[in-house]
Amino acid sequence: MEWFWYFGIYSFLGFCLEVLFARATHQSKRDRKCFFLLPLCPVYGLGALWILALPAPVLQSNLLLFFGSALAATGAEYLMSLFYERLTGVHFWDYRHLPFQLHGRVCLLFSVFWGMLGVGAVRVLHPLVAQFTALIPSFLWPLAACLLLLDGALTLVLLRRTHSTDILCWYRRVSRLPLRDS
């Protein structure tokens, strides 16, 4: 159960980080979620799980943790990109404009960022996340799992049908609807 919560928490924190990054770098696409309803970026959740699953000797050395995190999270990023591209026909990111990239799915610069994030997450953030997840009542797990699975399935269907991540920004269209006078 704790690994499920880790995935969800790190996916949410990844979403927050993506939004901050988009705003700080003045990106035109500021919406960075990968689910229809939930504000989650699963590449961060998967990357965090792979980092946390690294062998103990790697987790104990900052240098090994940096390189292990970079490799684990870059692998997760590559596989998530491939998954979305093959299953739904969408691209959430494209690094083809950056040097030392592989098929636009991963690049050296962001692998370095993954390494730094991994060290920070394991050394600073994860002890707090582990304490927090220990406080979550066990009866919430099935509800949260169903919500995640339903939203994930809906998201995949919509992405596959539209081949566009714009469908995930449904709230923009709702906010532009005219209000009726009663």
Q: pLDDT of 77-119, one tens digit each?
A: 999 999 999 999 999 899 999 999 999 999 999 999 999 999 9
- Cα–Cα nearest to 45, from 17, 74, 4, 93: 4
Residue in the block written with tokens 């081949």: 163
Torsion angle (degrees, nearest 10) of CA 166, 45, 13, 142: 90
Question: What separation in angstroms does the CA of 27 have from each of 21, 23, 32, 99, 171?
Answer: 8, 6, 11, 19, 19
pLDDT given for residue 23 in this prediction: 87
Between residues 168 and 31, which one has the greater pLDDT? 168
The mean of the pLDDT values for the chain is 92
pLDDT given for residue 29 in this prediction: 67
CB atoms within 10 A of CB 111: 20
CB atoms within 10 A of CB 125: 15
pLDDT cut 90: percent of the chain above it: 79
Between residues 128 and 18, which one has the greater pLDDT? 128
pLDDT at 174 over 80: no
pLDDT given for residue 182 in this prediction: 46
